[in-house]
A and B are shown apart, each in its own frame.
Chain A
């Protein structure tokens, strides 16, 4: 005899119907910044990246998850690893990937950002991965298009997928980030990587020590409060003191193209005071992971010995970058409007 009980509520069905897949708790259309991501959202991205990392190790690293969707990489600024990893991430998930560079496209003929974004949507872009030298450009683009927009770095503002892959790398190296002290050393003012990392890592419970010349630390970091202010961080201008007992360290690239005038007297002096070398690394906790977002100026912000040493996570960061970008593409592109 067939039993026919009453209809379950939707919630009960979702939980009890064991052959229905569990839906990811994700509802965002765009990934523009890290400052508005909840701890749960960040953890979901990292957990999803775990699955994606496994996909990358398969003999045939290709799934049909984004089949029929088009990802457009729109890069107004030079990039090797970010663009390449988004391209690979899209392809592994089965999407069509188109690369549009700022130079050599209609952008060079003076087409406005908004027109370019609309044009790309008109040719069928489902996801727009965008890098731009102006802070806020991806936010502007997101308001003009129905495509999902991923910020792949805008000016000094944010670089969400870099921060997420750094958080993923640190989590794998350290277990949990709860109450871990992480040193970020270098040019903080001009660094979207630092800014996004501060948000991501503190949201996961880490404590941040920023270290660098005063001229390259944003003013008023400690005092500001309010929803858009950065979370609490420690400031330490002596790298030896910052490194003492640190659980992990992230060296930032000295961005010669962004630093103007007197902020940085000489690279030699910078290296003398702020280079992450073996001596300074030895002050940190044993085995403390070393991160660098790349590209590295070896001999400036990091010594060659540390950059390629046992504690260096730099290569793994690049591999994790593909997995994180797959996670972001998947969650965004498969979230219904």
Chain B
């Protein structure tokens, strides 16, 4: 995905969010660190353009809620989260760059409940690469990209990287590839336990 494809995908997500939720003031966009945060900011900027209302944004760090802490040699870096004063009875849209096993999302849902009780939590991701290990599904997807479990999906966003792109292990996904196709699930060869 190039910068243009990413921009279009995020615009579409912004439109879909507005279609689903008429009360913009109830919405809170919570980006998962690191790259979910700029995604939340971009979508909030689009929504502000359409509706003239500035959404509240949060940043969520899930390091302390991960389920693989005892499996790692070194602890993941911990950064402060910052959430709006209250998320009680609000509609929280959780944003992440890549949806893979779903384990990060599970950790995020766990962390969110420490801040309050939203009326609804939805999930928006720039890329869904398949291979879920938990019963978690996204509500908004920028692009479904079929991958093998061992593939590496790199997301670059200009706020934290050099420019915008999504690359699957060194090979750029062509812009003409269709968005919205189902994630490809290779049968029988996915054995590696890659964590997400």
Binding site for B on A (CB under 8 A): 2-8, 13, 16-27, 47-48, 50-55, 58-65, 68, 93, 327, 330-331, 334-336
A83 to chain B, nearest CB (A): 23
CA separation between A24 and B146, bound complex, in Å? 31
Chain B residues closer than 8 Å to A55, beta-carbon distance: 64
Tell me the bound Cα distance from A162 to B181 in angstroms.
56
CB distance from B185 to the nearest CB of A (A): 11
Whether B187 sits at the interface, judged by CB under 8 Å, is no
B interface residues, how many (CB within 8 angstroms): 50
Neighbouring B residues of A4 by C-beta, 8 Å: 148, 151, 169
Q: Which of A18, A20, A26 contacts B35 (CB 8 A)?
A: A18
A65 in contact with B80 (CB, 8 Å):
no
12 more A-B residue pairs beyond the given contacts A51-B80, A334-B75, with a C-beta to C-beta distance below 8 A = A3-B173, A17-B153, A17-B154, A18-B98, A19-B96, A23-B75, A27-B74, A54-B81, A64-B65, A68-B70, A327-B78, A334-B74
Closest B residue to A93 by CB, please name it. Answer: B64
User: B184 on the interface (CB 8 Å rule)?
Assistant: yes
Q: Does B12 contact A (CB under 8 A)?
A: no
Question: Nearest A residue to B71 by beta-carbon distance?
Answer: A336
Q: Which of B149-172 contact A (CB under 8 A)?
A: 150-156, 168-171
Which among A13, A61, A330, A334 has the greatest number of chain B C-beta atoms within 10 A?
A334
Is B193 positioned at the interface, with any CB of A under 8 Å from its CB? no
A58-B114, A59-B116 known; A52 and B78 CB under 8 Å?
yes
A289 to B82, CA, bound (A): 26
B129 smallest CB distance to A (angstroms): 9
Q: Are A64 and B82 in contact (CB under 8 A)?
A: no
From A3, A18, A336, contact of B169 by CB (8 A): A3
The reply to whether B77 and A23 form a contact with Cβ atoms under 8 Å apart is: yes
* Chain B neighbourhood of A54, CB < 8 A: 80-82
B104 at interface, CB cutoff 8 A: yes
What residues of chain A lie closer than 8 Å to B7, measured between beta carbons? none
Give A92 Cβ to nearest chain B Cβ, in Å.
Answer: 9
Can you list the 6 inter-chain pairs with the closest CB atoms, starting with the nearest?
Answer: A21-B76, A334-B75, A51-B78, A3-B171, A54-B80, A23-B74
Q: Tell me the minimal C-beta distance from A199 to chain B in angstroms.
A: 24
Q: Contact at B75–A330, with CB atoms within 8 Å?
A: yes
| Interface membership of B115, Cβ < 8 A | yes
Residues of chain A within 8 A (CB-CB) of B137 are none
Cα distance, A52 to B169, chains bound together (Å): 34
Please give me the residue from chain B that is nearest to A327 by CB atom. B78
Residues from chain B with Cβ under 8 Å of A13 in the complex: 152
Considering only CB atoms, which chain B residue lies closest to A18 in the complex? B155
CA distance A61 to B64 in the complex (A): 12
From B99, which residue of chain A is reached at the shortest CB distance? A19
A2 x B147 contact (CB < 8 A): yes
B residues less than 8 Å from A335 (CB atoms): 73-75
Residues of A with C-beta under 8 A to B66: 21
A67: min CB distance to chain B, Å: 9
**With A2-B148, A336-B74 in contact, is A19–B79 under 8 Å at CB?**
no
